[in-house]
Structure 1
Amino acid sequence: MNKLIFPVPTGTLNRKRLSLAVAGAVVLAASIGAIAADDKPDPKNAAAAVKPALTVTTTRALPASLPVKLAANGNVSAWQEALIGSESSGLRLLEVRANVGDVVKKGQVLAVFAAESVQADVAQARAALLEAQATAAEASANAARARTLQSSGALSAQQIGQYMTAEQTANARIAAAKATLAVQQVRLNHARVLAPDHGVISSRSATVGAVPGPGTELFRMIRQGRLEWRAEVTAAELSRLTPGMAARVKAANGSELTGKVRMIAPTIDPQTRTALVYVDLPTSAGQNAPFKAGMFASGRFELGTTQAMTVPQQAVAVRDGFSYVFLLGADQRVTRQKVQTGRRIDGQIEIVSGLKPAAVVVVSGAGFLNDGDMVRNVAAGVPSAKPSAKPPAK
């Protein structure tokens, strides 16, 4: 069959094309509107973007009066040591009455030697003195009679001179006998070893039964129990110290005592370039004394006070070997600031440079912040509220 083809008018075809173009434009506009609607910020997402990272407390950097101290190290030594030795010769040590650590008084008997031979020598010297005195009495009587007969001519001048000489010789023998007796008395006194001063026995080498020679050390004593701290100070810092200045010395057990500078050495060690500062320590005897001779101790000298700007130690965060603080801005965001620290005392730390006075710094939580974080500032000492625990679901 033959199909019939009817011609389409040109105006009708153009109207169809126009309708399709308008419909496509409407669809395209709707799509663009939907995309634009999706790009608008959601209020809930915006609130989540500015949520604070941490709840912190802040404070201001305020001026304070801090003490100026000079730290030093040194040894604890005896103020003066007394060496107590033997002055006797050939005597046996019979008794030892003092030991290490004993507190003794001046004149106290520390040791006793066997003095039988010395006592015999004393008795012999005393008998020789009596004999010399008897001889001198007889010589004095003969000389007196010779003087009375001198004018009568019964005795010659030679005989009278002999009597006079005998009298003088007898008197000289008395003096010699007294000197000998005194020597033996001294030897007898040396049979007892006495303490030369008040103090503490620091060492003992005396042994019962030994026969020490003259000058042998038997005891060593710390005079008056006084100790001193010999601090080593560099030449540059030596001019800051003066006699009478206070010093705090710390013992090995942690206890501290306050001493006083007694003297500054007039010379400086050419090897170490340091000088010794002698600090008198309070006298404390006994086994529980915090300081003992030969101990190493550290301390500090009190040089006065100066004004400084301080912040709490919690406000300083140490990272990569540098110290930082976090400054709180008006937009509740923190800014990391590098600072240089100084002295530390009573929970406060000195800020030498890098921070302006009265700057608002973060205290608690500074170690967990980064530069630019947003925080929530609360009053100091008010803990943040913790979420209450929900009851278990049944």
Structure 2
Amino acid sequence: MNHLTLKPLTLGLLAAALMGLGALGMWMAQPSAAQTTPAEVLNTAPSAAKPALTVALTQARSGLLPIKLAANGNVAAWQEASIGTEVGGLRVAELHANVGDSVQKGQLLASFATDSVKADVALARAAVAEAQANALEAAANAERARAVQGSGALSAQQINQYLTQEQTAKARVASTQAQLDAQLLRLKQTQVLAPDNGILSSRSATVGAVLGAGSELFKLIRQGRLEWRGEVTSAELGRIRVGTAVLVTAPGGAQTKGRVRMLAPTVDAASRNGLVYVDLLETGKAATAQAFKPGMFARGEFELGQSAALSVPQTAVVVRDGFSTVYRVGADHRVSQLKVQTGRVQGDAIEIQSGVKPEDQLVASGGSFLSEGDLVRVVESSKPNSAPAQAAPAQEASK
């Protein structure tokens, strides 16, 4: 039994001895490290390392970028007219316009019942006719009194009385004529007309209602003009001038051009912000009028000019741990991470304010897949906005 127990151990010792002799022979056959040249080490090192990514290169370019100031605000009517009744106690007979209608100056919007007003006009006409008849009689009496004034047929008191009656009758005619004109004006005011071109934004009148004088019937956006009231800080207010171009964006994404019409003369004491009144220039277009409505929130960008700047494609910038970074490719095809300060964005380009030099070779896209010191394979061109291609396996690359 002892012989059977020691036999496997003996075989294991013999196998280990044979493997040791084989390894010694291979070591002796290879050249020593002292005999390996540095060139051979450089040539063999890249073949042993596997690239982490295939990338295209880009460089920071110098050019002009627009200077823009962003602000938020509300869309409002340029001027909103209140259209109301000028006579009281009349019944609304008919409404000829509704909310959203585009109306012209002088267009009929509403009509009031005219029966009572026409009756008052008839009474005023009769009063004028009566006063005119009395005035004719008084004028004839005064003329006869003047004719006999020096003959003594009438006393001085009687003559003065006839002359006074003549003047009183003329005044009575003027008074009744004024009353007739007032009634005719009331009759005219039973028709409510649009005071200007524009769009009706509200209607509070209903058919059959008896309204008092001054009651509001409609609200009108004069000339259909809208404005955007941007809110900026007191420091930013000094950078804006009347006539500055503005691009206003609605919540739905629609955009329209504008121009600064006026700066607020005061700043809010609580928020320290001031208003900038911007005329929206394209509200006459159907698409723009549909996208922008009074009371709507909108965002605007004031175009303050241009300045020189360095920029790179947005795909070259990676945000990590709250910092913007780019990856610079060295001569050995290894990347180093650089923190940069970004600024303005224009199309697919983003401004680099610090951290990069114009001669730096940067990874154009795919930096989110890289780490400090990674080896990359460089290609001549690649679509900046597409996902970068992963490096091929080592056996495929050698084909």
**TM-score, normalising length from structure 2?**
0.84
- 1:357 shift after superposition: 2.2
The one-letter code matched in structure 1 to 2:157 is Q
**Map of 2:227 onto structure 1:** 228
What's the CA shift for 1:345? 1.3
What's the secondary structure of 1:341's corresponding residue? strand
1:291–1:154 Cα change, 3 Å: same
Q: 1:72 and 2:71 equivalent?
A: yes
Deviates more, 1:344-353 or 1:301-310: 344-353
CA RMSD in angstroms, aligned pairs only = 2.6
2: CA distance between counterparts of 1:164 and 1:343?
91
Per the alignment, residue 24 of structure 1 pairs with: none
Distance 2:62 2:259 in 1: 30
User: What's the counterpart of residue 23 of structure 1?
Assistant: none
Relative to structure 1, the CA distance from residue 48 to residue 386 in structure 2 (aligned partners, 3 Å threshold; closer, same or farther) is closer
Q: Cα distance, 1:46 vs. partner?
A: 4.3
Q: How does 1:168-187 map to 2 (within 5 A)?
A: 168-187=167-186
Structure number with bigger Rg:
1
- The aligned runs of 1:47-196 (5 Å cut-off) are 48-196=47-195
**Aligned pairs, how many?**
360
Percent of aligned pairs sharing the same letter = 57
How far did residue 78 of structure 1 move? Answer: 0.8
Q: Could you tell me which residue of structure 1 aligns to residue 378 of structure 2?
A: 377
Residues 187 and 320 (structure 1), Cα distance of their counterparts in 2 relative to 1, 3 Å cut: same
Question: Which position in structure 2 is the counterpart of 1:259?
Answer: 258
**2:285 & 2:340 partners in 1: Cα distance?**
48
Relative to the length of structure 1, the TM-score reads 0.85
Assess if the C-alpha contact under 8 Å between 1:101 and 1:286 holds in 2: no
State the secondary structure of the residue aligned to 1:144. helix
* CA displacement at 1:290 relative to structure 2: 1.8
Q: 2:355 corresponds to which residue?
A: 354
- The question of whether the paired residues in 2 share the 8 Å contact of 1:106 and 1:195 is answered with yes
**Could you say which residue in structure 2 is the equivalent of 1:304?**
305
CA offsets, 1:170-189, max 9 Å, x none?
A: 10100111111111112112
The CA deviation at 1:263 is 0.5
Letter in 2 for 1:148: A
Structure 1: unaligned runs, 5 residues or longer: 1-26, 388-394
Q: Which residue does 2:27 correspond to in 1?
A: 34
Matched, 1:284 2:284: yes
2:172 partner letter: R
Name the CA distance, whole Å, in 2 between partners of 1:328 and 1:286.
52
Aligned mates of 1:285, 1:120 — CA distance in 2:
48
Shift in alpha-carbon separation, 1:188–1:386, aligned structure 2, 3 A: same
1:318 aligns with 2:311: no
Q: CA deviation at 1:307?
A: 0.6
Conserved? CA contact 2:51–2:391, under 8 Å: no
**Residue identity matched to 2:141:** N
Give 1:31 deviation, angstroms. Answer: 4.7
Superposed CA deviations along residues 34-92 of structure 1, whole A, max 9, x for unmatched, are 36838758989745423433221102211111000000000001111111111222111
Distance 1:386 1:270, change over 3 A: closer
8 Å CA contact 1:199, 1:222 repeated in 2: yes
Matches within 5 A, 1:5-44: 31=24, 34=27, 37=30
Q: For residue 384 of structure 1, report the CA deviation from its aligned partner.
A: 7.4
C-alpha deviation, 1:32, in angstroms: 9.1
Question: How far does residue 367 in structure 1 lie from its aligned partner after superposition?
Answer: 2.2
Unaligned runs of 5+ in 2: 1-19, 393-399
Aligned residue identity for 2:163: M
Structure 2 vs 1, CA of residues 235 and 147 (structure 1 numbering), >3 Å: closer, same or farther? Answer: same
2:75 partner amino acid? V
**3-state SS, counterpart of residue 380 of structure 1:** coil
Counterparts in 2 of 1:165 and 1:46: CA distance versus 1, 3 Å = closer
1:271 aligns with 2:264: no
In the alignment, which residue of structure 2 is the partner of 1:342? 343
In 1, the alpha carbon distance for the partners of 2:156 and 2:285 equals 76
Distance 2:81 2:55 in 1: 64
Partners of 1:60 and 1:358 within 8 A in 2:
yes
2:335–2:372 contact (8 Å) kept in structure 1: yes
Q: Deviations over 1:334-380 (max 9, x none)?
A: 11111111111121111111111221111133222221122221212
Residue range with higher mean Cα deviation, 342-351 or 34-43: 34-43
